């Protein structure tokens, strides 16, 4: 079989094909010193000089259904960009928003979406300062697509980057994984569970501020969105040229999420999150960091899940519940349910 010459859904999954598309099409033509780092947000000096602590990022949102337990596309569009800024240690200041609306969308639904955006921006302490609206004819969109961009600022002296993990560091996770992706998927498929699954969608900049207050030397932050925890850990191991070892038993997964994952044949470690972060920090401040995370509403279930070793750079190894070890690979394509 020859390689596909068209864009596939799997190119948007956040896994290997997404990375290939970014590398072979976008970075190849648009690359520069800042973009090449492929961080969640770029760190810039606004006068064009080297260094700087202004963080800038953008993100687009195409979720279906538009409304889901725990949030909607509006809340997601604000939190996604706020969180990308926060993953460089930055507090969000200004956001822009672009709407692509499909002919026929109920105005009441749009009102609800915009109200969620206002609430989420308020919680994050960010102002929406510019916007744009386009309407496409019925059938050319899925109700509403939203793009947001954000500008934020990191405290002086903070240097948080995907490339900063060092052997000896510990890996922390702010809470249970898989909630968002499985909430969306079960809603989309009309599956019902006794314990309702809810998206974890939340702005994480407040949590990050508390973490930096107790551990300013924090090395790495990453929100495990598309592709889930497993893919994010692989990206970090790759960017920092280190090996990461994690223990399956220490990774929090809510029972309802685990059950829904079993039923659908989906591994929660590969499912998207919208309100969780991975932190990698020197072992010396890990306990203080963990305590600060658990004291915050968005980090109550935080845990130390693993450690960084020199090992094989780029590799992530999972110690299973049975104590055996295996590779924890990056997501390859779309996560697809199994046949039997």
Partner 1 sequence: MTYIQGFRNPAAARHLIERIHALGDAAPMRVMEFCGGHTHAIMRYGLREALAPAVELLSGPGCPVCVSASADIDQAIGLSLRPGVTVATFGDMIRVPGSDTSLQGARAQGGDVRVVYSALDSLELARKLPQRQIVMLGIGFETTAPTIAATVAQARAEGLGNWSVYSMHKLTDPAMRAILDAGEVRLDGVLGPGHVAAITGWQAWEFLPREYGVPCAVSGFEPTDILQAILALVESRREGAPRVINAYGRGVTPGGNAVAQGLMAQVFRVAPAAWRGIGLIPASGLDLAESYAEWDARRRFDLPDVAEGPLDAEAALGCRCGEVLRGVTLPPECPLFGGACTPAHPVGPCMVSAEGACAAHHRYGRSAA
Q: Which is nearer to partner 1, 93 or 315 (CB)?
A: 315
Convert residues 207-246 into a mask of x (bound to partner 1 by CB under 8 A) and - (unbound). ----------------------------------------
* Rounded alpha-carbon distances, angstroms, from residue 171 to 4, 37, 226, 245: 37, 21, 19, 9
3-state secondary structure of 213: helix
Residue that has been written with the tokens 């915050």 in this structure: 296
182 lies in the site for partner 1, by CB under 8 A: no
Nearest to 269 by CA among 193, 324, 331: 331
Query: What residues form DSSP beta bridges with 306?
Result: 171, 246
For residue 21, the Cα-to-chain-centroid distance in whole angstroms is: 19
Coil, strand or helix at 132: strand
Main-chain phi, psi angles of 130, to 5 degrees: -155, 155
The window from 1-9, 22-30, 138-146, 302-310 that contacts partner 1 (CB under 8 A) reads: 1-9
User: 15 vs 70, which CB is nearer to partner 1?
Assistant: 15
Nearer to partner 1, 134 or 326 (CB): 326
Cβ distance to partner 1 smaller for residue 38 or 258: 258
| Residue 183 near partner 1 by CB under 8 A | no
Write the Ramachandran bin of 227: left for phi over 0, alpha for psi from -120 to 50, otherwise beta: left
| Residue 21 is a binding residue for partner 1 (CB under 8 A) | no
Q: Is 14 helix (H, G, I), strand (E, B) or coil?
A: coil
Residue 44: both structure tokens together: 């810039």
Residues 104-143 that bind partner 1 (CB under 8 A): none
Subset of residues 321 to 340 that bind partner 1, contact rule: CB under 8 A: 321-327, 329, 332-334, 336-340
Q: Which of residues 111 and 189 has its CB atom nearest to partner 1 in the complex?
A: 189
Choose, by CB under 8 A, the member of 264, 277, 290, 292 that binds partner 1: 264
Estimate the crossing angle of helix 205-214 against helix 107-124, to 10 degrees: 10
Residues of this chain that interact with partner 1 (CB under 8 A) are 1-4, 6-10, 15-17, 20, 189, 255, 258-259, 262, 264-265, 312, 315, 317-318, 320-327, 329, 332-334, 336-340
């Amino acid at each position: 079989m020859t390689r596909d010459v068209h864009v596939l859904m799997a190119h948007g999954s956040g896994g290997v094909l997404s990375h290939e598309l970014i590398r072979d099409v976008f970075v190849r033509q648009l690359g520069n010193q800042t973009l090449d780092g492929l961080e969640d947000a770029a760190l810039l000096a606004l006068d064009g000089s080297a260094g700087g602590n202004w963080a800038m990022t953008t993100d687009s949102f195409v979720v279906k259904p538009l409304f889901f337990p725990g949030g909607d596309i509006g809340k997601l569009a604000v939190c996604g960009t706020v969180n990308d800024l926060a993953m460089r240690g930055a507090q969000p200041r200004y956001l822009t928003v672009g709407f692509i609306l499909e002919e026929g969308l109920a105005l009441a639904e749009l009102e609800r979406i915009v109200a969620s955006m206002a609430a989420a921006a308020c919680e994050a302490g960010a102002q929406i300062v510019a916007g744009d609206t386009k309407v496409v004819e019925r059938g050319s969109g899925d109700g509403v697509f939203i793009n947001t961009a954000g500008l934020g600022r990191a405290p002086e002296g903070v240097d948080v980057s995907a490339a900063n993990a060092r052997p000896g560091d510990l890996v922390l996770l702010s809470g249970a994984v898989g909630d968002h992706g499985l909430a969306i998927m079960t809603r989309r498929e009309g599956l019902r569970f006794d314990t309702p699954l809810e998206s974890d969608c939340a702005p994480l900049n407040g949590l990050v501020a508390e973490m930096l207050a107790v551990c300013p030397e924090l090395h790495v932050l990453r929100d495990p969105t598309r592709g889930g925890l497993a893919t994010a850990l692989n990206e970090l191991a790759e960017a920092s040229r280190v090996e990461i070892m994690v223990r399956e038993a220490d990774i929090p997964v809510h029972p309802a999420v685990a059950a829904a994952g079993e039923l659908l044949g989906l591994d929660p470690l590969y499912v998207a999150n919208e309100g969780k972060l991975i932190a990698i920090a020197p072992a010396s401040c890990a306990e203080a960091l963990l305590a600060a995370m658990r004291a915050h509403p968005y980090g109550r279930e935080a845990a130390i899940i693993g450690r960084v070793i020199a090992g094989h750079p780029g590799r992530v190894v999972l110690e299973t519940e049975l104590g055996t070890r295996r590779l924890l690979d990056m997501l390859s394509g779309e996560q697809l349910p199994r046949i039997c």
